[in-house]
C-alpha cells in the first residue's frame, strides 16, 4: 500500500480529462494536478522548449513526494517523456502509448488516423508507437490547432460555469465547430480508416463533432481510459494502491490538489470543474519563474 498521491500534469486544463478517468477508475487515489495554463498552448511550440517545460514540471513534482507521474498531455509526452523517465527515480507514464493501444485495439481495417497538435504530429510519436504494437497498421496524421482554440473559448466562457462537459456536449455543436471538424478530419477521409485516436487532451470534448465529420463507420477513441488502465497496471505491479479511505460513516474522499501557472485561480477552478466533473476545492498558484529555476 502506498498512500502518496499521483502527480498529473498538462499544458492547461485538457489533462483533466485524463485525471477524471484516473479518479473514476481509482477512487481511493489522491492526486496533485498541475496545469501550465500560463504557457498553454504547447502544441505550436518547438519541441526543445516543450522538453524544457517537462524537465521543470517533473522537477516540481519530485519535491511533492508523488508515487507516480502521468504526463497527461500528448505534446509534452512526445517531447519529454523519455527525458523525464531517464532523469527521475519516480516512474513516469505518458498518454501516447495508451492512445496507440486504444486505436490499434479499435481498428479492423488496420488503417488508422491521429488527430493531434502540430507538435505531436511532427514528433511522429503516434505512428511509431502504433507500429511498435502492429507494424502492419497504416497511419495518417491530421494536425489541428483550431480544435484546441474552440475548447479554450468554451472553457473561458461564463456559459460553462457550474456545468460538466459530459452533459454539455451540444455546446460545441455550432457551425464554426462543424467547419473545424470537417477541415481537421479532411486528411483522414477516403483512406479506409476505421479508427481515429484523439491525440490531444482537449479533443475528447469535441468527440461528437469529430465523430459526425468522420461518419458512423469510424471509431473515435481517446487515451484517457487506457491511460487510467495503465496506471492501474503500474500500481498493481508495485503493490502501490492507496488504502481505502474510510471516514466514520464508512465513506471518505481522496485528496485532490490542483495547481496552475495562471494568475486567474478562480477561472481555472471554474473551467477545471467543467472538465474534471467535480469542484476544484484547492487551487494553488505556481510561479513560472520558480519552475524555470527548478529545471
Ligand atoms: N494538452 C495538449 C495536448 O494534449 C493540447 C493543448 C496544447 O497545445 O497545449 O497535446
Question: What pLDDT shows up at residue 232?
Answer: 96
pLDDT value at residue 245? 64
* Residues 202 and 154 both lie in one domain: yes
Q: Which of 178, 196, 223 is the last residue of a domain?
A: 223
Distance in angstroms (rounded) separating the CA atoms of residues 291 and 295: 6
Ligand 1 atom index nearest CA of 78: 10
Find the length of the chain: 295
67 falls within a domain: yes
Within a domain: residue 133? yes
Q: Answer yes or no: is the C-beta of 43 below 6 A from any ligand 1 atom.
A: yes
Set 116, 139, 200, 224: catalytic member: 200
Q: Please give the Cα distance from 84 to 205 (Å, whole number).
A: 28
Count the alpha carbons within 13 Å of 193 in the hemisphere toward its beta carbon.
27
Ligand 1 pocket, residue 42 CB under 6 Å: yes
Residue 84 is predicted with a pLDDT of 97
CA atoms within 13 A on the CB side of 123: 28
Q: List all residues 6 or more positions away from 249 whose beta carbon is below 8 Å from its beta carbon.
A: none
pTM for this structure?
Answer: 0.95
CATH, residue 286: 3.40.50.1860
Could you identify the atom of ligand 1 that is nearest to the CA of residue 148? Answer: 6
Pick the atom of ligand 1 nearest to 120's CA: 10
Task: State the pLDDT at residue 135.
Answer: 98
Residues 187 and 45 in one domain: no
| Res 177: pLDDT | 95
Active site residue 73: yes
Is 201 a pocket residue for ligand 1 (Cβ < 6 Å)? yes
Cα(75) to ligand 1 centroid in Å equals 6
Domain of residue 263 covers 6-94+225-294
pLDDT for res 159: 84
Whether residues 230 and 88 share a domain: the answer is yes
Ligand 1 pocket, residue 117 CB under 6 Å: yes
From the list 234, 225, 203, the residue with the least C-alpha distance to 105 is 225
Does 209 share its domain with 230?
A: no
pLDDT for the residue 243: 85
Number of neighbouring beta carbons within 10 Å of residue 70: 29
Number of Cα atoms under 13 Å in the Cβ half of residue 167: 7
Q: So what's the pLDDT on residue 244?
A: 78
Ligand 1 neighbour 14 (Cβ under 6 A): yes
Q: Tell me if 15 is assigned to some domain.
A: yes
Give a yes or no: residue 1 inside a domain. no
Please report the atom of ligand 1 found closest to the CA of residue 200: 4
Question: Among 202, 206, 222, 260, which residue has the most ligand 1 atoms within 8 Å of its CB, making it the best to mutate?
Answer: 202
For residue 29, being part of any structural domain is answered with: yes
Predicted local distance difference test score (pLDDT) of residue 162? 86
pLDDT in tens, 166-195: 888 788 999 999 999 999 999 999 999 999
Q: Are residues 62 and 104 in the same domain?
A: no
In this structure, is residue 155 part of a structural domain? Answer: yes
> Quick one: 87 and 158 in the same domain?
no
Q: Is the CB of residue 10 less than 8 Å from the CB of residue 16? A: yes
Lookup result for grid cell 519563474: 289
Residues 162 and 17 both lie in one domain? no
Residue 143 CB less than 6 A away from ligand 1? no
Which of 8, 53, 71, 76 should be mutated for ligand 1, with most atoms under 8 A from CB? 76
200 Cβ inside 6 Å of ligand 1: yes
Q: Which residues of the chain have pLDDT under 70?
A: 245-252
User: 229 and 203, same structural domain?
Assistant: no
Residues 84 and 101 in one domain: no
**Cα of 243 to ligand 1 centre, how many Å?**
33
- Give the Å distances, CA to CA, from 280 to 19, 66, 80, 158: 12, 19, 27, 17
The pLDDT assigned to 156 comes to 87
Same domain, residue pair 35 and 77: yes
Total count of domains within the chain? 2
Residues 236 and 135 placed together within one structural domain of the fold: no
Active site residue 121: no
In this structure, the answer to whether residues 71 and 116 fall within a common structural domain is no
Task: Write down which residue in 170, 204, 223 finishes a domain.
Answer: 223
- Determine the distance separating the centroid of ligand 1 and the alpha carbon of 131, expressed in angstroms: 23
Among 177, 198, 223, give the residue marking a domain's end: 223
Amino acid at each position: 500500500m502506498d498512500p502518496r498521491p499521483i502527480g498529473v500534469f498538462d499544458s492547461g486544463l485538457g489533462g483533466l480529462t485524463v485525471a477524471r478517468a484516473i479518479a473514476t477508475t481509482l477512487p481511493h487515489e489522491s492526486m496533485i494536478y498541475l496545469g501550465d495554463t500560463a504557457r498553454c498552448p504547447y502544441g505550436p511550440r518547438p519541441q526543445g522548449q516543450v522538453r524544457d517545460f517537462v524537465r521543470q514540471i517533473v522537477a516540481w513534482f519530485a519535491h511533492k513526494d508523488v508515487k507516480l507521474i502521468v504526463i497527461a498531455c500528448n505534446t509534452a509526452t512526445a517531447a519529454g517523456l523519455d527525458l523525464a523517465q531517464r532523469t527521475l527515480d519516480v516512474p513516469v507514464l505518458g498518454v501516447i502509448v495508451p492512445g496507440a493501444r486504444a486505436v490499434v485495439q479499435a481498428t479492423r481495417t488496420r488503417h488508422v488516423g491521429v488527430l493531434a497538435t502540430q507538435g505531436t504530429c511532427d514528433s511522429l510519436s503516434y505512428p511509431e508507437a502504433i507500429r511498435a504494437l502492429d507494424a502492419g497498421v497504416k497511419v495518417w496524421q491530421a494536425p489541428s490547432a483550431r480544435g484546441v482554440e474552440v475548447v479554450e473559448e468554451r472553457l473561458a466562457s461564463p456559459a460553462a460555469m457550474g456545468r460538466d462537459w459530459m452533459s454539455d456536449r451540444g455546446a460545441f455543436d455550432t457551425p464554426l465547430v462543424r467547419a473545424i471538424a470537417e477541415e481537421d478530419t479532411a486528411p483522414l477521409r477516403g483512406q479506409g480508416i476505421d479508427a481515429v485516436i484523439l491525440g490531444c487532451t482537449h479533443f475528447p470534448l469535441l468527440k461528437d463533432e469529430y465523430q459526425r465529420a468522420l461518419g458512423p463507420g469510424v471509431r473515435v477513441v481517446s487515451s484517457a481510459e487506457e491511460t487510467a488502465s495503465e496506471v492501474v497496471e503500474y500500481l498493481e505491479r508495485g503493490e502501490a494502491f492507496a488504502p481505502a479511505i474510510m471516514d466514520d460513516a464508512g465513506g471518505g474522499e481522496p485528496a485532490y490538489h490542483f495547481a496552475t501557472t495562471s494568475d486567474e485561480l478562480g477561472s481555472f477552478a471554474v473551467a477545471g470543474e467543467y472538465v474534471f466533473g467535480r469542484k476544484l476545492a484547492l487551487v494553488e498558484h505556481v510561479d513560472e519563474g520558480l519552475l524555470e529555476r527548478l529545471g
